[in-house]
Amino acid sequence: MSMSESHHRRSLPFGLIASAILVLLASAILVIAGSNAIPMKEKDAKAAWTQIENQYQRRNDLIPDLVETVKGYASQETDVLTAVVEARAKATQLKISADQLTDQVAVQKFQAAQDQLSGSLSRLLATVEAYPVLKSSHHFLSLESELEGSENRISVARSDYIDAVRDYNTELERIPGRWYADVFYPNAKPMQSFTATPGAKEPPRVDVGQ
């Protein structure tokens, strides 16, 4: 056996070992990167939820001024005004944290309260049609415009949250995400999304004339 052949045989195991190490390192990197997808998607979903809360709060802040403005011109519309005030109080009191987004009952109650408020606002704005002077009030027009903008932002925030939750839940269900969850995140649970509500994508609005 020549010296070159002997050297080749001795170096062969080292080459195999080096290749095996590289494969293991690459596999470890892929596992780490894949396992990070779950907490990253969870973070995205919770951030989207924060935007929903912010937009609903912005709407809540507009309502007292809106109610007082309408009351100044249509104080006899007691039932409609009271319904808005009560719905706002309920929606304001019913809050859930990002850690409760896996609780189906809590999310459904939150959505129901907000949808009830949206319905009450729609009825209030429809009532304005019977009051031309109120419809032409610059202050009311400004509030109505702000409310429509707020409702549009709520619709966008809800859509973004639904997409983020779907992305996160899919990661938990599909392979290899399901394997990562079983090994690294055994307490991870699917988040609850919003359900479609008739008219939810249509912001409360009224055709206000000058």
User: Among all chains, which residue has been given the structure tokens 């062969």?
Assistant: 12
Q: Does domain 38-184 have CATH number 1.20.1440.20?
A: yes
Whole-prediction pTM: 0.78
pLDDT given at position 18? 57
Report the distance separating Cα 120 and Cα 85, nearest Å.
Answer: 9
**Measured CA angle at 52 (ends 46, 57), to 5 deg:** 130
Top-confidence residue, 26 or 87: 87
Q: How does pLDDT run across 57-88, given as a tens digit for each residue?
A: 999 999 999 999 999 999 899 999 999 999 99
CB contact set of 155 (below 8 Å; sequence gap of 6+): 200, 201, 203
Instruction: For the beta carbon of residue 203, count every other beta carbon within 10 angstroms.
Output: 20
